[in-house]
Structure 1
């Protein structure tokens, strides 16, 4: 077995024991951890993702052929892992295991889940419910083993199966070794090769004292050739975002490859290649020590294209290098600068369209006076001497949950807070700058969020010990529902609404005129952190009881489903909470914790 994999397995087992002497991982279990660590989290330091990884492993009796389930937040994608710590795996074994996972997913689609173990049911259903309508079906199956088997033979047998999920990925021992090495080293590049362009003279040049570059149109056949030779040997090592699969974007590129290759140049942003040097040679560009730093998605889809269209086409490509020979350290620094700059140009989101609006700029200026930096443009430089940094979309989610009592929309449809004009006005058109009470309220809400985030990180291990598995799941997925309940607490503590009225009609809270004012900054005792932790525990226990009741009565399928809509929050979660607060002993407990929400 590879020394690389063997070393990693031993380190994972040792780390597990160091965190808890009762943890004794087998090599098979450690292999599951390794694939989650390197493939899903892309993290070489196991300590940074240890607890998250343990919560994702389903391996055991009645697991439906699933060893682990990872939900990719950035790409709204489910990755289902099946890992075999063995070198005695044959092609048909892989096909059988993937078929088993497909059968499991079909069972979940048809709600035939009684035969699966509790953790598989919870994690898979939770992940499926987190997919929005836009990303439905965005599932990747990852099969990994130590066997040196022909991946192309496997994929040829999976042609019919591949249509049932978005992606199927198969890794062998060599793939896993290279993946580990790349993440640990991050500096291997392709030593030398060449690209063909459309026309000898069709080259746009630019140079500075330190760098030079050209802009050319490279042949799709050249890109495919480079991919086949180097896709696991340095071609993408300097692309800091690697290849993030997105079904909608991938399908668009594939459609162009199938039907509209003449228009590819106009419809694609192209590639950026960093190198130590390049030489023009007629219609060929020779590259030295190079890597693609932007355009991994385009390159992967061209290299893996299985369609019938074989026509050559051209892709815009920028090639940059240093003018003079420099040290390897300076070269890598330059490469990383190019990679960071080109990969920061992400697709436009609804919040980006509001970044230059008067209300957004005004709010940023207002908060900056109080040493809070509101990021309204992705990647903008943080101001100096600030206490807290927050993004405008996160602030919108907090306000819409706490003030407007809409945690479902905040959690499941964040973009609507910017592209739905009604929601946007409810959040940002509130004259925060001209009314002191609103300014002070906003600052306290941001501080509450900062304290919540700090507590979540600081007490992660303690909270996982304090809560059972389901309660921990509720806490990890329920931030905006908890902030909505904080908003309820704010109203009750300040007598803006009566419990008796809410008992009769829980929807009243949606119609009330919210009264703004400072709250957490008024609390002068030194136990804010403890009170916040106690209040979170108080609400998590209520949520756990109501969720268990609804799950057992088949009203919800997972925690994500429980938290998904505003209607569920108003009709069930808020109503149950208010009824609990109607009990004298619980109300007294609540009053003790809720003092942090008292206005002046």
Structure 2
């Protein structure tokens, strides 16, 4: 499936999120024109969800103004924390060719009445009134007491000629930020599928003080080879953690060696779920090893104007241990919301949270940054004991794997799973099918076959991912196209099974992949891959 068709599938899923009363998103009874209109609005929903973490459909819908008499403004968003005002113009195209090639015209940009709307004008120069959503936008601006402090940011989600950028900036009065088709795939589609779509810069965590007898936290300074670190530890309501991960998902697990591993029977995650659902008291605090979070800056206060409450503000948080615990809690929370079940199962249940804060002072050099990342990796390895972390998990954040993932998606539209469970959200929400996900172990075996070593392709995961072997197979990502040629060969082989092919296309797949891979040349386009593979296998 092409990236465009996957994008359309995502937009349709967003339409299905709409409340029944919002009939304009009902694709089941819509005409082709109405379907196109619904997808165009869902495209803006996608932007608001990914870029601003707006999870709730109805909340996002409030910011979408796209309709008759919208003053050329399709949507907006007001970030009151960062003092940013976003004004959105979007053009969704109804077929892949137009989506990737058709450009927005200067006339369409000229239709944006940004200056009039932000100046409080309620109508066009002709006197015709703007629609109700634009009127609501104007009222919202009028209610902001410190509006002069806000930065105005114009977002154009469309293909734009490079030569038009300067003209567009003059027309809208601000530097416009352009999201062309490729940026939409990279920064909207991929993050949504992988659950990394909203990066939180500051996080507030609320703590209960009712169950504490004396001090409710440990505050400890640690001297390391990198620099001095501060460690805070306290028990946090499980519901707090559930809500946090439900919103930020894998974006808060970037340094964790694994993403969520689902609730397989007998797994650690299923046991975590049982201790929340089946036990009414707080054994969870005893059974669970807790969560370790990294922070660039941490601020704690008991004086927050709430009885028996304290709050912790964490800057650039990342969970490096306990990701399975945190994600399982979020899945339970989401299931309760979906089913309309009460959240009482979380009541009086807490989990130990350890926050490691790195000093943000001192040497900002690349060397120090590298030392910090090395220390993070060592902490991650040392603390991930609750679920076994295998060698493949330890290689998940290696630079070569990150580059492979980016390049393979950008050119081929496949999702290389460098972390276990990385695309679980995409599968659960039916954004993508499993056959679009590349298993990392299989990929390494295919790489060996492409290198002319089909016998080594039978190696187990442990051998493939030990550092020396892994780096010999994938020293860099430069040969990704050849390896994708080999991968496509391997996955297509079963369809060629016939009475004449014998066991070659089943038990001899790596050997056949090695032979066909010799026909790869760097000038082959991805569209030619299947033609060459088909020709070679049928010879």
Judge same fold: TM > 0.5, yes or no.
no
Smaller-chain TM-score range?
0.3 to 0.5
| Structure whose residues are more often helix by fraction | 1
Greater relative CO, 1 or 2 (CA 8 Å, sep 6+): 2
TM-score, normalised by the number of residues in structure 1 = 0.36
